[in-house]
């Protein structure tokens, strides 16, 4: 799709910036993680942008490699950050000392791709070149999503590559593929499960032996040191936080002429953090009774004594619900539940109250309490083709 890291005529090496967009829960983070794992010798820099106040996507991406190249925005990047600010992040990643070959910007699920493309094109960094727009489509939800949000057609029309993801869940994948093809004339359209596309669709790949591993945050800090910067993000966050305040809806303000045409004007997000464990039965009751407007939930759950070894990544997309246990990181990090809920017509105060009621500080687990949750844990081998030896059923 893009011309990766080609030195210009006598000029600096150019770094393609690929914009990765797609509606809430379509599989952008899954695809980005796939690229990070399967890009061979190509070193990827990532700008990950979450709609909600807690940067769940960044945790998922960083978590995949332990310590990867992640720079973040919060709120919808297309409205929360202007082109100049994005340039600060791009400049950091495109610095020759980082050795990055390609930058992927993962947009929030409600971002306006055209705005992001415009921002990349407006970059004043001579090393940065626009590398194309990839739109991820959830094949199982596409027909419903398109009905609710006709703007999606416009997004597909400007894409360079459309990944029709989750074909394993789609009732009529062929119909969705044909429809997407008709809407994205001129773009390559590929079907995928779990975002498994050949990275060569997105950028030219280096042979594996040229590079090993991704950059770490430490690498980035070293780069900053070279330039006498303090390595802190421009908004004063920590390592994993380059972004702004929480209320994405409120941020979509005067920086744009027509924010009403943006998907996110109709959506609200709620962030919930608890240092007390959650009761599995109560949380499951909450999830089972969620309204249709509450389209997306993501985050991590601590079930305390019900499973002391693992935290549970949780994903709800429409009526789809999954829990993914993963061992807690060793060390003294506080065990938190961190959730982001995104939807239309949602009552933030009521949802927070319901989640508060799921907290449980009892030191003992009652028998079978995890059964309901475990029903939503996929067979990892079946879903990803990779067994997960690290997880023991509680």
Ligand X SMILES: Nc1nc2c(ncn2[C@@H]2O[C@H](COP(=O)(O)OP(=O)(O)OP(=O)(O)O)[C@@H](O)[C@H]2O)c(=O)[nH]1
* Site of interaction with ligand X (CB under 6 A): 22, 24-30, 57, 109, 165-166, 168-169, 193-195, 296, 298, 315, 317, 322
Residue 288: how many other CB atoms lie within 10 Å: 10
CB 164 within 8 Å of CB 134: no
Radius of gyration of the chain (CA): 21
Comparing CB distances to ligand X, the nearer of 45 and 129 is 45
Comparing CB distances to ligand X, the nearer of 89 and 324 is 324
Comparing CB distances to ligand X, the nearer of 168 and 285 is 168
Residue 192: how many other CB atoms lie within 10 Å: 22
Q: How far is the CB of 195 from ligand X (least distance, A)?
A: 6
Q: What is 221-267 written as a DSSP string?
A: HHHHHHTT-----TTS--TT--S--S-HHHHSSTT-S-GGGSGGGG-
Comparing CB distances to ligand X, the nearer of 194 and 391 is 194
Q: How far is the CB of 385 from ligand X (least distance, A)?
A: 12
CA atoms within 13 A on the CB side of 27: 28
Q: How far is the CB of 290 from ligand X (least distance, A)?
A: 15
Query: How far apart are the C-alpha atoms of 270 and 248, rounded to whole Å?
Result: 10
Cα separations in angstroms, 114 against 4, 134, 270? 22, 11, 26
Comparing CB distances to ligand X, the nearer of 128 and 314 is 314
Q: How far is the CB of 67 from ligand X (least distance, A)?
A: 20
Comparing CB distances to ligand X, the nearer of 24 and 102 is 24
Q: How far is the CB of 109 from ligand X (least distance, A)?
A: 3
Counting DSSP H helices and E strands in the chain, the numbers are 14, 12
Q: How far is the CB of 322 from ligand X (least distance, A)?
A: 5
CB within 8 A of 47, min separation 6: which ones?
Answer: 70, 71, 72, 73, 77, 86, 89, 90, 93, 103, 104, 105, 106
Comparing CB distances to ligand X, the nearer of 30 and 337 is 30
Query: How far apart are the C-alpha atoms of 109 and 91, rounded to whole Å?
Result: 24
Q: Tokens 């809430």 label which residue?
A: 24
Query: How far apart are the C-alpha atoms of 29 and 296, rounded to whole Å?
Result: 14
Q: How far is the CB of 351 from ligand X (least distance, A)?
A: 17
Query: How far apart are the C-alpha atoms of 249 and 51, rounded to whole Å?
Result: 9
Query: How far apart are the C-alpha atoms of 225 and 206, rounded to whole Å?
Result: 28
Q: How far is the CB of 25 from ligand X (least distance, A)?
A: 4
Q: How far is the CB of 151 from ligand X (least distance, A)?
A: 15
CB 220 within 8 Å of CB 92: yes
Comparing CB distances to ligand X, the nearer of 95 and 251 is 251
β 70-74/161-165 pair status? unpaired
Nearest partner of 149 among 265, 315, 317, 250, judged by Cα: 265
Comparing CB distances to ligand X, the nearer of 100 and 342 is 342
Comparing every residue's Cβ against ligand X, the nearest one is 109
Query: How far apart are the C-alpha atoms of 4 and 131, rounded to whole Å?
Result: 8
Q: How far is the CB of 206 from ligand X (least distance, A)?
A: 25
Comparing CB distances to ligand X, the nearer of 88 and 167 is 167
């Amino acid at each position: 799709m893009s011309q990766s890291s080609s030195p210009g005529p006598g000029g600096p090496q150019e770094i393609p910036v690929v914009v990765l967009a797609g509606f809430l829960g379509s599989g952008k983070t899954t695809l980005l993680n796939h690229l990070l794992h399967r890009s061979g010798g190509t070193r990827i820099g990532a700008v990950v942008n979450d709609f909600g106040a807690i940067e769940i996507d960044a945790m998922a991406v960083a978590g995949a490699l332990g310590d990867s190249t992640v720079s973040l925005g919060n709120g919808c990047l297309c409205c929360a950050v202007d082109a100049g600010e994005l340039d600060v992040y791009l400049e950091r990643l495109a610095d020759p000392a980082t050795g990055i070959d390609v930058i992927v910007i993962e947009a929030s699920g409600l971002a306006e791709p055209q705005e992001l493309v415009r921002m990349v094109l407006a970059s004043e960094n001579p090393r940065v070149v626009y590398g194309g727009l990839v739109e991820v489509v959830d094949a199982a939800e596409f027909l419903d999503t398109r009905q609710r949000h006709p703007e999606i057609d416009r997004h597909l029309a400007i894409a360079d590559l459309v990944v029709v993801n989750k074909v394993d869940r789609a009732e009529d994948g062929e119909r969705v593929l044909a429809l997407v093809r008709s809407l994205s004339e001129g773009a390559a359209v590929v079907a995928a499960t779990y975002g498994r596309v050949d990275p060569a669709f997105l950028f030219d790949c280096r042979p594996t032996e040229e590079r090993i591993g991704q950059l770490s945050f430490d690498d980035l800090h070293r780069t900053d040191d070279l330039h006498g910067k303090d390595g802190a993000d421009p908004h004063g966050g920590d390592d994993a936080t380059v972004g702004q305040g929480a209320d994405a809806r409120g941020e979509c303000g005067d920086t744009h002429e027509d924010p009403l045409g943006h998907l996110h004007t109709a959506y609200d997000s709620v962030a919930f953090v608890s240092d007390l464990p959650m009761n599995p039965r109560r949380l499951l009751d909450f999830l089972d009774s969620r309204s249709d407007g509450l389209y997306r939930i993501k985050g991590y759950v601590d079930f305390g004594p019900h499973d002391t070894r693992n935290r549970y990544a949780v994903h709800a997309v429409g009526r789809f619900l999954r829990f993914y246990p993963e061992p807690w990181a060793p060390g003294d990090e506080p065990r938190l539940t961190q959730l982001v809920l995104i939807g239309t017509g949602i009552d933030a105060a009521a949802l927070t109250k319901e989640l508060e009621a799921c907290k449980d500080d009892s030191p003992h687990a009652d028998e079978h309490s995890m059964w309901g949750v475990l029903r939503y844990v996929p067979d990892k081998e079946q879903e990803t083709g990779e067994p997960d030896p690290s997880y023991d059923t509680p």
